[in-house]
Amino acid sequence: MSKPLDDKVIIITGASSGIGAATAWKLGAEGAKLVLAARRIERIERLAQELGKEGITAIAVKTDITKRSNADHLVNQAMKYFNKVDVLVNNAGVMPLSLIKNLKVDEWDRMIDTNLKGPLYAIAAVLPIMREQKSGHIVNISSIAGRRVFPGGSVYCATKFALNAFSEAMWMELTSRENIRVTLIEPGAVTTELAESITDEDVKAWFRERTQIKFLEARDIAHTVSFALTQPAHVNVNELMVMPTEQQM
């Protein structure tokens, strides 16, 4: 029986945990061939093996998305194994939230490099292929933090606002003109490892209060990605904000 994503070749960055790993399972179950990217190679190799046991084709490519050469290598590997790239899911991200006054400048750099420059490098690597194919779909995993600013979120929000701005330009330059669909997904709070990188004690305390509400599960966002990818070719799902029911805007 045919599946909605049969033979689609899909690159997922940040596939070693959370939303990326859940998305790999969802899209793989729908027939996609997967290229899994992250720095923790042992995790994505294990995931590729587990997917393989379920009949899903997946390769693992060790990738530090903050390095342009790694993004190029990732896409080259996808081409080497599958000879095309239908979809890029720009999911890798970090969120060491902190108050501005604490001047955690190294963490600011890391967020800008991972959450903004990372997707840009991946897009730069994949775009010539999608333009040549005259088709493609790029999914940018942004955040509610790309639409609303909150205390402690200054630089994280700045990276996601920037990703949103870049996505809007992509709709104008690439979607209508080049048949490259672009979907921006903005989740609210999701239960993943993301908050573990927070070192600022003030923000940690605030986060403990926030975890009283029922968060989204990673698979909820995987379903959202699948929804965008399985629409007919003439439908571009531009933007989806998905929030826990109990989370305040």
Chain residues binding ligand NAP by CB under 6 A are 13-20, 38-40, 43, 63-66, 91-95, 114, 141, 143, 187, 189-190, 192-194, 218
Residue 71 to residue 45: CA distance in whole angstroms:
18
Instruction: Answer whether 68's CB lies under 8 Å from 57's CB.
Output: no
Q: Which is nearer to ligand NAP, 28 or 187 (CB)?
A: 187
- Smallest distance from the beta carbon of 230 to ligand NAP, in angstroms? 20
- Smallest distance from the beta carbon of 118 to ligand NAP, in angstroms? 6
Q: Which is nearer to ligand NAP, 83 or 245 (CB)?
A: 245
- Smallest distance from the beta carbon of 66 to ligand NAP, in angstroms? 5
Residue 167 to residue 176: CA distance in whole angstroms:
13
- Smallest distance from the beta carbon of 42 to ligand NAP, in angstroms? 9
- Smallest distance from the beta carbon of 106 to ligand NAP, in angstroms? 14
With b meaning 16 or more CB within 10 Å and e meaning fewer, what string describes 118-135?
bbbbbbebbbebbeeeee
Of 119, 121, 127, 197, which Cα lies nearest the Cα of 164? 119
- From the list 25, 82, 121, 156, the catalytic residue is 156
Q: Which is nearer to ligand NAP, 14 or 136 (CB)?
A: 14
Alpha carbon separation from 201 to 104, 152, 193, 194, 197 (Å, rounded): 12, 11, 17, 16, 12
DSSP-derived letter for residue 215 is: P
Q: Which is nearer to ligand NAP, 54 or 193 (CB)?
A: 193
Q: Outline where DSSP puts E strands in 96-219.
A: 136-141, 180-187, 190-191, 216-217
Q: Is residue 156 among the annotated active site residues?
A: yes
Residue 155 to residue 179: CA distance in whole angstroms:
32
Q: Which is nearer to ligand NAP, 140 or 175 (CB)?
A: 140
Q: Which residues are catalytic?
A: 156
